Structure 1
Amino acid sequence: MKVISKWGTGVDSIDAEACAKFGVKLGRTPNAFTTPVADTVLGYMLAFARRAPWMDRAMKSGKWEKIPGRTLSEMTLGVIGIGNIGKAVTRRAKAFGMKVYGTDIIDVDHVFVGETGIEMTNLQSLLSNSDFVSVNCDLNPTSHHLINADTLALMKPTAILINTARGPIVEEKALVAALGSGQVGGAALDVFEFEPLPADSPLLKMDNVMLAPHNSNSSPAAWERVHWNTIKNLVEGLGMQVKK
């Protein structure tokens, strides 16, 4: 084997150390789905803040129920992982007037911090101060089950957890318990520890949870770019050139 060309951004399913050891080139598409994923996070925040899905359900069940909502400018957002997607989420949130907290294991560009006004802090402070918590970090040994029973206990009882990154970053059993007990207000999940989500998952019966089948990357324009770059990485990895 000479080349592995990964369709997409994440390479957590590939043994990068083994590739390096055996001289196998590893290609991917950084920044592949930043726009659709960031849009998805914003959509989830708007849905929970304005209570649109719940009013729709009430209307369709014959109830004229005015469910109180909030504006995003009244709420705070914590972004875990300030990479390409985390930055895009931050910019969208700031455009809606939100106070944004951020945390990362590496230093974040001071120009970005200055431009957006994001307040960089530690994970514990972020969790305790945020109305929404958006998981946007990579899956690696330091982030596996980063969101667990202990960290969930730090969140506001009204807070919403949004995960559009990788399922195993969140300890699903602990999240189910926190949602069921009211320790956490709700969740929007596009990714899961085991995919497809098992048919007997308690998440499927929770009214305070929004679910999607790992689909936040949905975008014909983004797919086309990744298709092309995946082929390009493969061909160039074999020592040839690609002309578009």
Structure 2
Amino acid sequence: MSLPLSTERTRIAVLDDYNDAAARLDVWSGLPAGCAVDFLPEHLSDQDALAERLAPYQAVIAMRERTPFPAELLARLPELRLLVTTGQANASIDVAAARARGVTVCGTRMSRYAAAELTWALILELARGAGAQDASLRSGGWQAGVGTGLDGRTLGVIGLGRLGSRVASIGAAFGMEVLAWTRHMTPERAAEAGATPVASREELLERSDVVSLHLRLNAETRGIIGAAELARMKPTAWLVNTSRGPLVDEAALASALRAGTIGGAGLDVYDIEPLPAGSPLLDAPNTVLTPHIGYVTADCFELAYGDAAEDVTAWLAGRPVREL
């Protein structure tokens, strides 16, 4: 059974608060008296350093899956009683181990389609190069290269859940032929998103001009795009990933980009985050890279951190909400 937090003095850590985005919100003002919130902007990937830093806290609020909480780390946090993750699921938290230690794990809501919108920002940047054109104009140049139109091209969506369906429907609005593949595809599900189902992932890869990934990371999907899959793509095609980094073999992707096996890539997620300085993706050609900002919008943070504060308040009252 979970042990309650003390209402006399509850120390709360908000992790990975890049740009002080959480600290600037007013959502924390409604926390019960006795709560002290510390906002930690630095990302700690070393487990020893993380265990030492979090040792005094009874409650921790994690941002998505940036900071893993495996069983061995939880065992080193004897004061921890409440662990909140933004979002409704977090594969980086060992929820069973937390429960066994009397730690309640709760989630939050997040904006529904922010990642789908970023998917299209990456696709459009690959297609039209607005960033490069802006840089050229500001440096005294004029038109820097020739863009690619999307009307009549083929968009392949791997994973047709909530976000994949939104990306597919936008592709249809651009006049693209939209193909979709998932292991449990039905014609009805595809039709709702304006997509045509294909029999195999291989067919989708071979026919698409843009391949966009929208899958949850698990044992079946890890490395679903590797060297063999990249070799099936058109040499002019683009790969876009705003879901989870390990869906793609990064070394194989960097090699394919350098060899011209595919035309380019738009990535928001990576195997290791923040992306290490020595990553081969950083100097791979024809790439648009963003630092996992699919969910990083003001309205999303307001919603998620507001729910996180509510999670703490409800737990202190003995009535936890949104338990995972």
Question: The TM-score by the shorter chain falls in which range?
Answer: 0.7 to 0.9
The alignment-based identity, stated in percent, is 37
**3-state DSSP of counterpart to 1:69:** coil
- 1:39 is displaced (CA, Å) by 1.0
Aligned to 2:224: 146
- Tell me whether 222-231 or 125-134 shows the greater mean CA deviation: 222-231
1:117 corresponds to which residue?
A: 194
- 174-183 or 129-138, larger mean C-alpha shift: 129-138
Q: Which residue of 1 aligns with 2:279?
A: 201
For residues 206 and 54 of structure 1, the distance between their equivalents in structure 2, rounded to whole angstroms, comes to 16
Letter in 2 for 1:11: N
Q: 1:240 aligns to what?
A: 319
Using the alignment, how far apart are the partners of 1:209 and 1:16 within structure 2?
36
2:239 to 128, 152, 161: 161
- Which residues of structure 1 form unaligned runs of 5+? none
Matched residue, 1:133? 211
Give the TM-score normalised by the residue count of structure 1.
0.85
Residues 1:212 and 2:290 are matched in the alignment? yes
Deviations 1:95-116 (A, max 9, x none): 2121111122234582x43333
Change (3 A) 1:95 1:29: farther
CA drift at 1:67: 2.4
> Does the C-alpha gap of structure 1 residues 146 and 21 become closer, same or farther in structure 2, counting only changes over 3 Å?
farther
Offset at residue 178 of structure 1 (A): 0.6
One-letter amino acid matched to 2:190: V
Q: CA deviation at 1:5?
A: 3.1
Distance 1:113 1:132, change over 3 A: same
Check conservation: 1:162, 1:188, Cα contact below 8 A. Answer: yes
Query: What amino acid sits opposite 1:199 in the alignment?
Result: A
Give the AA of the match of 2:319.
M
Amino acid of the residue matched to residue 147 of structure 2?
A: G
User: What is the alpha-carbon distance in structure 2 between the residues aligned to residue 120 and residue 21 of structure 1?
Assistant: 43
Offset at 1:73? 1.4
Q: State the match for 2:6 in structure 1.
A: none
8 Å CA contact retained: 1:191, 1:214: yes
Distance 1:125 1:100 in 2: 13
State the shift of 1:226 in Å: 1.4
List per-residue Cα deviations over 1:48-80 (Å, max 9, x = no partner): 222323333444555544622232212211112
Which residue of structure 2 aligns with residue 55 of structure 1?
A: 133
Pairwise CA RMSD:
2.7
Distance in 2 between residues matched to 1:166 and 1:215, nearest whole Å: 12
1:13 aligns to what SS in structure 2?
A: coil
* Counterparts of 1:21 and 1:131, CA distance in 2: 48
Q: Is the 8 A contact 2:267 2:289 kept in 1?
A: yes
2:165/2:193 contact within 8 Å kept:
no
Q: What is the CA-CA distance between 1:87 and the residue it aligns to?
A: 1.4
Q: Is the 8 A contact 1:188 1:211 kept in 2?
A: yes
Whether 2:248 is the aligned partner of 1:170: answer yes
Question: TM-score, normalization: structure 2?
Answer: 0.65
SS at match of 1:102: strand
Structure 1 CA distance, aligned partners of 2:151 and 2:133? Answer: 21
Q: Distance in 2 between matches of 1:68 and 1:128?
A: 24
SS at match of 1:34: coil
- 8 Å CA contact retained: 1:72, 1:96: yes
Q: Which amino acid aligns with 2:299?
A: A
2:93 aligns with one of 6, 9, 14: 14
Match of 2:147 in 1: 69
Contact 2:223–2:249 (CA under 8 A) maintained in structure 1: yes
- The count of residues paired between Structure 1 and Structure 2 equals 240
The structure in which a higher percent of residues are helix is 1
Q: Residues 202 and 229 of structure 2 are in contact (CA less than 8 Å); yes or no, is this contact kept in structure 1?
A: yes
